[in-house]
Amino acid sequence: MHRRFANALVNNEFLVFYQPVVDLQTGEIIGCEALCRWPHGDNQFTPPDVFIPQAEASGFIVQLGEWVLKTATEQVHIWQRKFSAPILLEVNLSARQFVHYNLVRSIENILRTVQYDPASLEFEITETVAMTNADDSIGIMRQLKNLGIALALDDFGTGYSSLSHLKRFPIDKLKIDKSFVRDIPNDGNDLAIVSAIIAMAHALGLRVQAEGVETDAQAEFLRECECELAQGFLFGRPLPSDEFEMLFAQYHKGGLVFKS
């Protein structure tokens, strides 16, 4: 499998798609999440939920992750200059990448090569990865923070979290998993969970981003709970770079806004 992945990388088969991240109060696109795609055949994609775990198991994720970071920072850097806007780039870090001995040095090298401002970069680590060996995680997180990069806990609410660890993590944001957003506003339990996560995050000084926002009613509820940011099909799917650029051109400062 490692060989197949390595060939795919050399042959430029992988792509990075960009999903808009929206400021819920202003309705503007303020950034994007980089999501890897592996096309095969006519408009068919192997889903990341299939190939990312395989890349993780074979160890190839380390190379793939470096490629995603380099590709996405190069692209977003171009947009930042073109639009004179500090577009936030969110990049996923898998378990194996997170604990790799060369992580920090490789990130530093990429940022220097691309001349990318770390203040416009955020890494996402799942709650489960962060909570496994929490003391080691804190050490790695501190090194990333020292580079000036922001950190988010991804898929929050799906793993198990120790609140005592949570308050020690040097993180900036919680991302509420889409499984809690899906049944808003019909499921009373999800309403309670989502508003409690947002209140807890704010009490800890963290920002909140909701995933999987598909309807106006969901966006409205999150806005009322003072959730800062959101992503989801309501605003835009993960898009190829040219399509993201067209959407961003319309929906940033002074342009159109997403508002119900």
Contacting residues toward ligand C2E, per CB under 6 A: 19, 35-36, 47-49, 52, 65, 68, 92, 94, 154-155, 178, 211-214, 231-233, 238
Output 128 or 168, the one with its CB closest to ligand C2E. Answer: 128
> Rounded to whole angstroms, how far apart are CA atoms 75 and 246?
14
159 binds, among ligand C2E, Ca ion, none (CB under 5 to 8 A by kind): none
Output 61 or 166, the one with its CB closest to ligand C2E. Answer: 61
Least Cβ distance, residue 58 to ligand C2E (angstroms): 13
Contact (CB, 8 A) for 251 and 20: yes
Q: Which residues contact 218 (CB under 8 A, 6 or more apart)?
A: 181, 184, 185, 210, 232, 234
**Strand 44-46 vs strand 29-40: parallel, antiparallel, or unpaired?**
antiparallel
Q: What are the tokens at 219?
A: 């966006």
Least Cβ distance, residue 164 to ligand C2E (angstroms): 25
Least Cβ distance, residue 154 to Ca ion (angstroms): 4
Output 3 or 157, the one with its CB closest to Ca ion. Answer: 157
Half-sphere exposure of 189 (CA within 13 A, CB side): 2
241 binds, among ligand C2E, Ca ion, none (CB under 5 to 8 A by kind): none
